[in-house]
Amino acid sequence: MLMTPGLAFFYAGMVRAKSVLNMLMANVVCLVVVGLVWAVVGFDLTFGDDGGPGLIGSIGTAGDHWSVTQLAGFAGDGVPWPGAHAVPVLAFAMFQLMFAVITPALISGAVAERTRFWPWVVFVALWSVLVYAPVGHWVFAFDGFLAPDAVGGWIANRLQAVDFAGGTVVHMNAGAAALALAVVLGRRKGWPDVVARPHNLPFTVLGAALLWFGWYGFNAGSALSADGLAAMAFANTTVATCAAVLAWLLVEQLRTGRPTTLGAASGAVAGLVAITPACGFVDLWGAIAIGVVAGVICPLTCALKWRLRLDDSLDVVAIHLVGGLVGTLLVGVFGTTAVNAALPADGLVHGGGFTQLGRQAVAAGVVAGYSFVVTLLLGYLIRVTIGFRASAEAEAGGLDLHEHAETGYDVTATRSGVGPEGGADGRVPPGPLPVPRHATDPGRIPVQAPPILLDPHRNRGADPRHSRDLGHASRGVPAPRREQG
């Protein structure tokens, strides 16, 4: 659960001050909405006995898993089902809920600063059923886990592609959906000619730290037992992330002449994403290699959105879709049965040939394609029925006021000791804030650039005074006009 507020802070620091609360709300509400959907139907659709040819779980009586006596596990080594490492179904359901919650929350970064709140809530509820549940069933539902005769998903059991902790189900799924929603909602007003700076990079660093901490629960916890495999996943998560941060910073140094704070935070998340599907299948050197590859490819991919003119606001596609793809494919390169005997075949460098790599590629392609197409259709359906995008007025004035009637930074209260005038409930009525329009005003975007700025498209020896904002240099931003006010 810690990862969802961690993601909220990670994203909130990168948006403008006038939409920080909306970004926080878009993430936190996923916990609320998906929590209820998961308890009623989501878990059964994802892990229930197969209701089709490996495509979706079936729903018997809603809430059947809400029991203190049901166990899940695997038979083996002469031990009847549920085996020696059985877990309560309810505990497993709550563990898996956290994956289901953070996946739609990841999508919110691609459409930051232009999405209406209530249509977003509707989208999250429908998407968790129509997209997350089927994909989760394909990849995570194994035969014989919830019951001795239970039938699971086709990717896990028939194709035999593997995903230890969510590289396809969470990250590629969210990344492909983010790409689709960015298409549906279109670009922010003025983008890419006007590019806003991250308003609070300490928030982003705090969020990255919380994510890194919580990621150990995801990756090591996916072993479902406190054993050597969990320890291996824990260790691999650490070294891959460290390698990714260093690789990302080196790419920045070579391209822009400086390493950045935003780059370090982004590199950490990219490394965590990439090692997620592989953490229980690779050794030390495989984990380091995966981290390095993600730390190089993801920042280079971030720059593509400027050439494609695709406004993926917070680089969800480059970090989660591409990072998840890197980790998923590299299981077929660096995976080894010496680490995990459940891996169907050794990876390429361990003499297993291209068999597992081919399986991983099929799984990645199917998950990304399904998520993109269904999300695109769902997004357009919401857009033409209840409206998805905020108005131009709301976007210009900030979603905090127009969607939530409050602001993240109350300058009036800071200066006078009292809040701005509002209703009896103390909330700020929608409308312009009484804030002076000058560059030193806290909570607003400075008009003048900081003294040390970087341009990834200039030579390293160029005069930094003519470069762009440090906060975006690490992600390949071209030279835009700076937003005024």
Closest CA to 23 of 199, 179, 268: 199
Terminal C-alpha separation, the chain: 36
Residue type, 410: D
pLDDT by 10s per residue, the chain, length 485: 899 999 999 999 999 999 999 999 999 999 999 999 999 999 999 999 987 789 999 887 666 778 888 999 988 777 898 888 899 999 999 999 999 999 999 999 999 999 999 999 999 999 999 999 999 999 999 999 998 999 999 999 999 999 999 999 999 999 999 999 999 999 999 999 888 889 999 999 999 999 999 999 999 999 999 999 999 999 999 999 999 999 999 999 999 999 999 999 999 999 999 999 999 999 999 999 999 999 999 999 999 999 999 999 999 999 999 999 999 999 999 999 999 999 999 999 999 999 999 999 999 999 999 999 999 999 999 999 999 999 999 999 999 999 999 999 986 654 544 444 444 444 444 544 444 333 333 333 333 334 333 333 333 333 332 333 334 444 655 544 445 43
10 Å CB burial of residue 121 (0-12, 13-18, 19+) is middle
Identify which of 267, 269, 266, 261 has the alpha carbon closest to the alpha carbon of residue 244.
Answer: 267
Contact 291, 230 (CB under 8 A): no
Burial class (CB in 10 A: 0-12, 13-18, 19+), 226: exposed
pTM of the model: 0.87
CB-based contact 329:364 (threshold 8 Å): yes
Instruction: Give residue for tokens 């953490």.
Output: 279
Q: How far apart, in whole angstroms, are the C-alpha atoms of residue 342 and residue 352?
A: 14
